[in-house]
Amino acid sequence: MAEPPVHMTPDEFRRLGHAMVERIAQYAESVEDSSILPAVRPGDVAASMPRTPPEQGEAWSEILADIDRIVMPGLTHWQHPRFFAYFPANGSFPAVLGDLLATGLAQQGMIWQTSPACTEVETRVLDWLGAAIGLPDALLSDASEGSGGGVIHGTASEATLAAMVAARFRLGEGAPEPVVYTSTQAHSSVVKNARIAGIGREGVRLIDVDNELRMKPDALRRAMAEDTAAGRTPCFVVATVGTTSTAAVDPIAGIGEVSRESGVWLHVDAAYAGAALICPEHRWMIEGIEAVDSFNFNPHKWLLTNFDCSTFWTRDRAALINAMSITPEYLRNSATDSGSVIDYRDWHVPLGRRFRALKLWFVMRHYGIEGLRQHIRHHVALAEVFEQMVRGDERFEMVAPRHLSLVCFRMRADDRANTRLMETLNASGQVYLTHTRIPVLGEEKTVLRMAIGGTQTDRAAVDAAWQQIQTAAGAILETM
């Protein structure tokens, strides 16, 4: 009979696992000493790996040596305190420990029966979080008595897709040419999802925005009327709370009114900005939330929960289930048949699912809601300081209102000079920020985004970045 392979023993795991935790702690302590962007060219990392896997198992010391030789030099250091690019992707030790435990327990929570704890902890933790950010009862499992509720997706893109598919199914099979509406400033995932869902790019209307880059409800109403008149079916609206370029906030109340008139599904994408709702002073952003069908944000961006954790709530869980539930014989079980449990596989695309709620539970319990508020307020205050720095230097200008911890600014110079400024800064390895293009007084311009929100980002990091920005800008402007 064939023998099993040689497994790592619990004692070996204990010893090596302790050393791995030590490695992670040391990484956090020393990440500031690394260049944020690595000095690798495309293909370098892959070229340092053999083309074929080992036939015989290797010593752990050899595996770890390759982490130092191959992996570490090829990392972009998202946890560096002067990482200001894109949006943050927070890591925290409570979340790391939650993820470690989830992996160690190796649960597969596809249906309630395959892991009651994986399912029910998730339901309760999402009720906690939903209430903590001010969502209405209709979106919570407990308070809605089972008509609404929350679920964890991997990403905001997947959450939007699930909502889009449910909205389309809710229209009924016969509805001709479903149309999706979102603003010109919405994340590209909306168009991507329309393609995936078979609606296609031609079924997406990008609605005009006002001068603060917020969707115009009147333009939405007009677009829907045009489509209806042409025999198409308005189906799904995505409003964004915190757009990717400038963190602009679409007016949910106005958009909700238009959506209700046409009976379309309104989804709110608050991928980045949703974390700030933990602070009551930022809840103005979701005025009108009572009208939405679904809401999503990413604790893996700015709420101290390691990727991946994208939290989604809906008032109409039946719409998701109707659209996505198919029960083959091999998944039948008495708990599902009783109708008294949640099978989260019916709420999204994947069947299998990890115990992601553990890390979110750990984060919420370790920091408490008040600790999470401190995290957000700390960064918003730093962004206010940075905005004042920009306004205080006449060589620079603000190009969009600052929202939360995102500051969009540019040098008073052409696009090429601004791109050069960004590239000079990023090449230094000491600071990392990214750009976007937005209309500034009617003309598309290149704009730098200072996205403050790293777990370790503090006043010293912002001061150092600003000093570097000023020095680099001075040198560029001198050559012009």
Residues near ligand PLP (CB under 6 A) are 87, 155-157, 187, 189, 240, 242-244, 269, 271-272, 298, 310
- Residue 291, both tokens: 């009208």
Residue 457 beta carbon to ligand PLP: minimum distance, rounded to whole angstroms: 17
Q: How far is the CB of 159 from ligand PLP (least distance, A)?
A: 8
Of 61 and 188, which has the nearer Cβ to ligand PLP?
188
Nearest distance, CB of residue 195 and ligand PLP, angstroms: 15
Nearer to ligand PLP, 78 or 272 (CB): 272
CB of 47 to ligand PLP, least distance (A): 28
Indicate the residue among 282 and 420 with the shorter CB distance to ligand PLP.
Answer: 282
CB 156 to ligand PLP: min, Å:
4
The least distance separating ligand PLP from the CB of residue 76, rounded to whole angstroms, comes to: 15
Using the minimum distance from each CB to ligand PLP, give the nearer residue, 187 or 353: 187
Q: Closest distance between ligand PLP and the C-beta of residue 300, in Å?
A: 7
Residue 141 or 160 with smaller CB distance to ligand PLP: 160
Minimum CB distance to ligand PLP smaller for 87 or for 362: 87
Q: Between residues 275 and 389, which has the closer beta carbon with respect to ligand PLP?
A: 275
**Closest to ligand PLP by CB, 85 or 111:** 85
Beta carbon of residue 92, minimum distance to ligand PLP (angstroms, whole number):
18
CB 138 within 8 A of CB 375: no
CA 97 to chain centre: 20
| CB 433, min distance to ligand PLP, A | 15
Smallest distance from ligand PLP to CB 67, Å: 26
- Closest to ligand PLP by CB, 209 vs 411, is 209
If the CB atoms of residues 92 and 240 are measured against ligand PLP, the closer one turns out to be 240
Which is nearest to 406 in space by CA: 387, 427, 428?
387
